Structure 1
Amino acid sequence: MHMFYEITRKGLKPSIVTYSTMIQGLFRVGRCGDAHKLFDEMPAQGLIPNECTYRIILDGLCNNHQVEEALSLFHLVGDSKLNSDIVVYTILIEGASKCGKLDIARALFHDLVVKGLQPNVRTYTVMINGFCGEGLLREAKHLFLQMDESGCPPNNVTYNVLLQGYLKNHNYNDVEMLLHEMDGRGYSLDASTVSLFIDQIAAGSLDRSMLKLIGSLVPK
């Protein structure tokens, strides 16, 4: 903040990038009020927030559990490029899911499909993670299967997210099948998923015979 205000004291003018960077930093340390103040200050400096600035603000609000405010800003901007930006939709869907507002996340996901926007692999993965977090494994699996049909195949992260959802909710029906699919695609298990598998095997929930398959999917 000291360096930011030193810019104007030296007769220099902060740019949109300067403001956006500063706003992002303030949100990251939870100083939402100061971030808002800088955002509101931009027009007085002759600066119009761009898409990157809006992404930063929406992400900052969501990460600080202010999803309703993020949605209000999103709707306030109206039918601008912001409302046809898949990255913005993904930010809002993830924010709503993390705050336990799955109905909002689901509505946003439906909205982007209605608008003819193609969800990317991250959007799908975020929505699948939201379903898993609420124990809605049928919906998560349906969306997972829909990815290939939509020409957006699941990536390594998507598989790990779905596997973790299955394990945390003690649903083991498709676990082995997913592991074989991952092996066929050359994907690997991340540390969190491996830890869940070890815990479930130790608890007797999963057969120890799966250890070999799990071991083959651990990065060397």
Structure 2
Amino acid sequence: MPAAVRILVVEDDAQLNALLARQLAALGYGVETAEDGRPAIAILAREKFDVVLLDRMMPVIEGVEVLRRMRAEGVATPVILLTALGLTQERVEGLEAGADDYVVKPFEIDELNARIRAVLRRRSATGGDTATLHAGDVMVSVLRHRVTRAGKPIELQKTELKLLAELVREAGSVLSRKMLIERVWGYDFVPATNIVDVHILKLRQRLEMPGLPDPIATVRGVGYMFRA
């Protein structure tokens, strides 16, 4: 991993902060650190990073608030939340605030590195802009909560937009139900419901236009794919 890939580590546990800085530097990343949300906001205002690792629970300005301020300012840098909270609702809150992924403490550096690589791949696949995604005649602007098909605006609920964004981001690739559950709803298990299928049905209905094909393909026994 080239040193040009810059990571900001925001973690109020000084020992963990220093450990992550050493481990990530050993993997070839350029690393800067902050121990609370306030200095992190100041750093983000003057410098650019490829990924932000953001502790969810901090004493002055907590992670989700930092994340909300970033997105409100139009900062589309990928953010991975570091959280000790195992509750599904806490994870969902972070994802809905604009996080790209989350890792539950304690975690191994290999897992964290894999998550970092994944968000970097997604950013690269969309030309470096994770805020606006395109596939076929569909455009998704995540930060502006705007979706168009063939130039016509489409109204989506927040979860529907997140689901569509994941499908469009990975257009041409099959996403399993488990992958969508993790990325959109923040669950690390597959619930005993057809929640993904229900939302896919709603998306198809909203994207339906006369004379245009269904852009979402069902891959039986696997999941769904957005046609590129």
The normalised TM-score by structure 1 is 0.31
Identify, as 1 or 2, the structure richer in helix: 1
* Structure with more contact order per residue of length (Cα contacts < 8 Å, sep ≥ 6): 2
Greater CA radius of gyration, 1 or 2?
Answer: 1
